[in-house]
Structure 1
Amino acid sequence: MSDRLRNILLAVSLAINVFIVGAAAGGGFMWYAMDRSRTAQNQGALRFVAADLPLAQRRAFLQALGDARRASISDLETARASRDDLARLLSQDRLDKGAIDAELVKIRNADMALRSRLEQAVVDFAETLSPAERQTLVEALRQRASMLRRTPARNSD
């Protein structure tokens, strides 16, 4: 094998190796970024509100949320079935506005019933906390849950 051919093969091999290492690094970075993004999205869930409270109180909070969700199983099933019906109605050739509106009302009522139970569970749990712990809970609710999230002020131009 001539020196020229060996140098060309070495250059091609080097280029392929650099490409493979770059692809692996890029793939690893994308995996890391996607994982962090999913974690950040999940941090908005109500179950993370008590993350800064002591372990026993976190467990009590999660228990209260679980109880509220279990009490809302029929509402969850109603909402799920109504969403399926709504998807079916929206995909039909002719839209039945009355049926669509009725499904939207069912979904809204079921969602509001669940939300009411969850919010009441949070309030009931807050009654068991000391004032300092309640303040921690309030700050977490402002940051991570829609219950106390502030909406931006509107400009009155």
Structure 2
Amino acid sequence: MNHDDRSRLRTWMLLSVLLNAFLIGGVTGGAWWWWASVGHAEGAAHAAGTSAIQGPLPQRGLRFAADGLAPAQRQAFRAGLRDVRREAADLARSSREGRTEVARLLAAPQLDRGAVEAALARTRAADLALRERVEGYVVGYAATLSPADRLTLVQGLAAQQGSFHVPIPPARP
């Protein structure tokens, strides 16, 4: 075997090793991802849109509270909620920035308690103002519904997290 043949053979072997390493890494990474997100029972149930214990997972978020209403009512609720949130975008941004500022101040080498408390107060004020606007919209929208539709909305609100959430009382022995 001459020098050119050995050089060519080394090149092909190197390419083969690299390709095999890439394939093994891809298969291993894919298997890990599958196991982490779907492989175990709870992950598989979540991927199927169900809970391993309770059946179908509820949709989360205030916009899903109107799912039991007629399509036109559901669309109106979501559009109004979107408009309120769009109008209050400055409050949401201020709240986010306040939380970021609080985290930055808490992580500083020297804790400035006054600055942290002031940032928390600003964040709380923005959160409260945003919450007031959203809750005001929901109450105003509910006032436009019939009693039966209002009850459907209340049931949808109770299933959501947030200020309208009503916890399920614990079962008594």
TM-score normalized with structure 1 length:
0.71
Q: Determine if the alignment matches structure 1 residue 48 to structure 2 residue 64.
A: yes
- Aligned partner of 1:46: which letter? L
Give the alignment's Cα RMSD to 1 decimal: 2.8
Matches within 5 A, 1:2-151: 27=39, 29=41, 31-35=43-47, 36=49, 40=57, 43-150=59-166
Indicate if the aligned counterparts of 1:49 and 1:145 stay in contact, CA closer than 8 A: no
Displaced runs of 4+ in structure 1, greater than 6 A? none
Helix, strand or coil at the partner of 1:52:
coil
Cα–Cα, structure 1 residues 33 and 83, in superposed 2: closer, same or farther, change >3 Å?
A: same
Q: Which has the higher contact order (CA 8 A, sep 6+)?
A: 1
Unaligned segments of structure 1, at least 5 residues: 1-19
Q: Provide the identity percentage.
A: 38
Unaligned segments of structure 2, at least 5 residues: 1-30
1:26-59 Cα distance to aligned partner (Å, 9 max, x none): 727564234347994x723111100111111111
Give the helix-richer structure, 1 or 2: 1
- Aligned partner of 2:85: which letter? R
Once residues 108 and 79 of structure 2 are traced to their aligned partners in structure 1, the CA distance between those partners, rounded to angstroms, is 42
Helix, strand or coil at the partner of 1:144:
coil
TM-score normalized with structure 2 length:
0.65
